[in-house]
């Protein structure tokens, strides 16, 4: 399912005309469609004069085709509320939900953030912070969690890199256009993220990062994840805003402590002292205990939930059905069972692993522990004779 | 006031016959006096056969005069419930209160623990832990807090040494006799503590440290202080027992966090995760906020209570008396009032500021808020005519 082209174009236009998190605009869009609002603006018939003045200043230079061409040139796409890829968790932002998302990368955004943890912290990270962020990100990725962060230097970069190193999925939410590399030094990192994960922004292509945009961006990081982990934060830090956004959204706020002598953890300790809801975490296991789902994550080998399966393409579902429950098989055998080309099956297995549905040992595959549990508790058809289960697409 | 010699001797005897924290013994002593109980034991007329058996095993070798002579040889004294020096806070231990305390040192025990913080942690401390314990102890001592600890290597030693370095009062509660140096390497430390502070034990002279005695001793550390700070603790640590004792007694439990990579703070983080009542502290100011008394410790400029004033040199006291209460004055005016050279007054003002007795705005000085409050609640002579207060040395 995807929204129609007219609505998509209108949302792109409005994202250019308005700055993010404009509650007046959001409230108006409950009464009229984006296309109608744009029409009213163009025909000077918008009743709300304050909103009219806000949106009009950039109206002269509006060129939707140019926006879309710029996006297209970096292989980006537009994701609107109502699209399959739209993360419904953003609805929790209410009046401050984004109008539209610009997305780059090979992942499926809604699927990617179905089990996501945000990891944020200072750009001026210490060796300790980088070590903790990297290790935690690797371990959460191993457990099938997507890592959401802001693409900045320091803790953000370590969080993204840990996920990449573990072959996991990571989402960078930028405070500029998805075609803008900020900071410049993260050119290679952003390319790597886009390959298997996602680069996301609510700002149209070419948008430069401003201070307010960073602060507004942080609400998206908090909203896209089940919980936010702050690894290192000085007394004044953007991570604090993300932390407070997470609490305001009813998400978990998790804090990594550190040296009380170093300035790099002052913000972390302050949050732990000020916010009774904030939970001290020392590693991935503590994070899973906090944001994990009962049955999926509170088990020795934490792992992917059944909801992920519903988001699969027909081909992925077919490959999944061919994967044995317990006794691992090689890709060739699975390809034969599925009746699909080996290369396609290999790619599909990689993707299924990323969303936590299958696991491998030495190149041989079987269902993940959580998926096995999910199946054994579900009322699904099974044939135990050959040691694995076939599940019909709707199971 | 002090208890009579007969009761004192009976308590000394019972402390030799029984191990610490014997609830059956405590309950019996609510019905009969220590001397009566000892009589019943000697005349084989004690009704409680379990208690009789517990106490009888060491009865043969009992020699009260020898106990008292051994104590006397190290300059120690016996402090009993009801004595002036007995800390009434120990009553909170109820059935597990000590029978008697053996005390060495120049301090007055009850006065010393009137404002006391316990600081405990691992013997196997890191440089970080030693640094934090020392600094916190210095700063709490500067604010007039007594530091209670267990005389062990590591965090305990750093806590005692910080207090000694600051010229403060520190109390070492031992798990052996006050005449036993355990650990051996702390010979010099114990001597220094005894000079200005106190060495305390509920065990009679000559008692060796055993594992159970360490655990029982920890309840005394927790009970003698308004709150306990755990600086570093590994997964298994005696400090955990002190921490739990503090909570059980309704005292504040304060935890210093550290690296989540190092094993040395695992116990600290575990307490913070498991105990909602545990409060993260990053320094002396946080500790004061937790255990301080309103009016004395919750002031904007943290400070030494009136006790600090008593420690001032004659010259500092003279400068302090010349500082206005409310309306700030420059150093020259204060020097004129004090009748001292400007340069000396400037140095003195800096020192008085450091101990929290005065404050400045743009180079002009007045008494600190806490000091103003302390004076207004004290019954001190004052002359408001010239905008500042003169305090006689005894005020």
Greatest CA separation for chain B: 79
DSSP helix/strand/coil, B255: strand
Q: Exposure of A269 by Cβ count < 10 A (0-12 exposed, 13-18 middle, 19+ buried)?
A: buried
CA B376 to chain centre: 27
Question: Position of tokens 């055998």?
Answer: A333
Q: Exposure of B392 by Cβ count < 10 A (0-12 exposed, 13-18 middle, 19+ buried)?
A: exposed
Q: Does residue B258 surpass a pLDDT of 60?
A: yes
Contacts of B372 (CB under 8 A, 6+ apart): B325, B326
Contacts of B360 (CB under 8 A, 6+ apart): B328, B349, B353, B366
Residue B201 sits at the vertex; the CA angle it makes with B200 and B202, to the nearest 5 degrees, is: 140
Nearest to A131 among B261, B266, B286 (CB): B261
Retrieve residue B160's tokens: 């005692």
For residues B110 and A385, the model is more confident at B110
Helices first, then strands: H and E counts in chain B? 18, 11
Nearest to A260 among B256, B272, B279 (CB): B256
CB contact under 8 A, B260 and A261: no
Q: Does residue B13 surpass a pLDDT of 70?
A: yes
Query: String of b and e for B145-163 (b: at least 16 CB within 10 Å)?
Result: bbbbbbbbebbbbbbbbbb
Nearest to A260 among B261, B276, B282 (CB): B282
CB contact under 8 A, B258 and A256: no
DSSP helix/strand/coil, A273: helix
Put simply, whether A206 touches B (Cβ < 8 Å) is: no
Task: State the Rg of chain A over Cα.
Answer: 22
Instruction: Please give the Cα distance from A109 to A215 (Å, whole number).
Output: 22
Task: State the Rg of chain B over Cα.
Answer: 24
Confirm if A206 and A71 have CB atoms less than 8 A apart.
no
pLDDT in tens, B306-349: 445 666 777 788 888 888 887 888 888 888 888 788 888 888 88
Q: What is the pLDDT of residue B260?
A: 97
Q: What is the pLDDT of residue B46?
A: 92
Confirm if B76 and B177 have CB atoms less than 8 A apart.
no
CB contact under 8 A, B272 and A257: yes
Contacts of A38 (CB under 8 A, 6+ apart): A10, A13, A14
Chain B residues within 8 A of A272 when measuring between CB atoms: 257, 272, 280
For residue B77, the cross-strand partners are: B103
Q: What is the DSSP string of A350-366?
A: HHHHHTTSEEEETTEEE
Residue B200 sits at the vertex; the CA angle it makes with B194 and B201, to the nearest 5 degrees, is: 145
**Which value does ipTM take for this structure?**
0.71
Q: Name the residue in chain B with its Cα closest to that of A135.
A: B261
Q: Minimal CA–CA distance to B92: which of B203, B243, B247, B241? A: B247
Instruction: Please give the Cα distance from B268 to B262 (Å, whole number).
Output: 11
Strands A364-367 and A358-361, sheet pairing: antiparallel
Retrieve residue A59's tokens: 């109206």
pLDDT in tens, B182-211: 999 999 999 999 999 999 999 999 999 988
Confirm if A364 and A324 have CB atoms less than 8 A apart.
no
Contacts of A68 (CB under 8 A, 6+ apart): A9, A12, A78
DSSP helix/strand/coil, A231: coil
Chain A residues within 8 A of B280 when measuring between CB atoms: 257, 269, 272-273, 280
Put simply, whether A258 touches B (Cβ < 8 Å) is: yes
pLDDT along chain A (395 residues), means of 10: 87 95 94 96 92 91 95 97 96 96 96 97 96 97 97 98 96 97 95 96 95 94 98 92 96 98 96 96 96 60 44 78 84 83 83 81 82 55 36 35
pLDDT in tens, B136-167: 999 999 999 999 999 999 999 999 999 999 99
Instruction: Please give the Cα distance from B110 to B97 (Å, whole number).
Output: 15
Q: What is the pLDDT of residue A94?
A: 95
Predicted TM-score (pTM) above 0.90:
no
Retrieve residue A324's tokens: 């044995």
Instruction: Please give the Cα distance from A346 to A331 (Å, whole number).
Output: 6
For residue A254, the cross-strand partners are: A229, A279
Neighbours of B188 (CB within 10 A): 9
Q: Report helix, strand and coil shares of chain A as percent, to nearest 5.
A: 50, 10, 40
Question: Residue A321 phi/psi, 5° resolution?
Answer: -65, -25
CA B255 to chain centre: 18
Q: Minimal CA–CA distance to A216: which of A236, A245, A237? A: A245
Confirm if B249 and B227 have CB atoms less than 8 A apart.
no
Nearest to B259 among A128, A272, A279 (CB): A128
Query: Closest Cα of chain B to A83: distance in Å?
Result: 40
For residue B200, the cross-strand partners are: B103, B173
Question: Position of tokens 């919750």?
Answer: B298
Please give the torsion angle defined by the CA atoms of residues A359, A363, A364 and A365, in that order, rounded to the nearest 10 degrees.
30
Q: Does B41 sit behind a cis peptide bond, omega within 30 degrees of 0 on the bond before it?
A: no
Residue B119 sits at the vertex; the CA angle it makes with A257 and B127, to the nearest 5 degrees, is: 55
CB contact under 8 A, B280 and A280: yes
Confirm if B41 and B56 have CB atoms less than 8 A apart.
yes
Retrieve residue B23's tokens: 């609830």
Q: Name the residue in chain A with its Cα closest to that of B289.
A: A273
CB contact under 8 A, A131 and B258: no
Put simply, whether B283 touches A (Cβ < 8 Å) is: yes
């Amino acid at each position: 399912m995807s929204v129609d082209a007219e609505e998509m174009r209108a949302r792109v236009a409005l994202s250019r005309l308005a700055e993010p998190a404009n509650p007046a605009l959001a409230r108006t869009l409950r009464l009229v469609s984006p296309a109608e609002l744009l029409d009213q603006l163009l025909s000077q018939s918008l009743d709300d004069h304050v909103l009219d003045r806000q949106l009009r200043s950039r109206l002269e230079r509006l060129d939707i085709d140019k926006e879309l061409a710029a996006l297209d040139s970096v292989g980006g796409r537009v994701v609107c509320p109502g699209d399959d890829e739209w993360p419904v968790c953003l609805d929790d932002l209410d009046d401050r939900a984004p109008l539209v998302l610009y997305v780059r990368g090979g992942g499926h955004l809604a699927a990617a953030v179905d089990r996501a943890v945000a990891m944020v912290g200072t750009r001026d990270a210490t060796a300790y912070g980088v070590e903790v962020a990297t290790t935690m990100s690797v371990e959460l990725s191993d457990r099938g969690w997507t890592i959401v962060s802001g693409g900045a230097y320091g803790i953000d970069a370590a969080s993204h890199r840990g996920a990449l190193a573990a072959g996991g999925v990571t989402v960078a939410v930028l405070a500029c256009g998805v075609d803008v590399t900020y900071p410049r030094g993260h050119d290679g990192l952003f390319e790597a993220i886009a390959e298997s994960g996602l680069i996301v922004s609510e700002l149209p292509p070419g948008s430069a990062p401003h201070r307010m945009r960073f602060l507004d961006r942080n609400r998206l990081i908090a909203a896209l994840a089940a919980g936010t982990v702050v690894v290192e934060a000085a007394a004044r830090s953007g991570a604090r805003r993300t932390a407070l956004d997470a609490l305001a959204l009813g998400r978990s706020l998790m804090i990594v402590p550190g040296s009380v002598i170093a300035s790099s953890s002052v913000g972390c300790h302050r949050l732990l002292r000020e916010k009774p809801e904030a939970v001290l975490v020392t590693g991935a296991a503590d994070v899973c205990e906090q944001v994990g789902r009962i049955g999926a994550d509170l088990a020795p080998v934490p792992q992917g939930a059944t909801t992920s399966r519903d988001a699969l393409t027909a081909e992925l579902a077919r490959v999944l059905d061919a994967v044995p429950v317990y006794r691992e098989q090689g890709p060739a055998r699975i390809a034969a069972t599925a009746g699909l080309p080996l290369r396609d099956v290999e790619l599909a297995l990689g993707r299924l692993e990323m969303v936590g549905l299958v696991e491998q040992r030495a190149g041989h595959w079987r269902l993940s522990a959580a998926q096995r549990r999910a199946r054994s508790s579900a009322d699904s058809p099974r044939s135990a004779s050959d040691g694995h289960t076939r599940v019909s697409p709707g199971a």
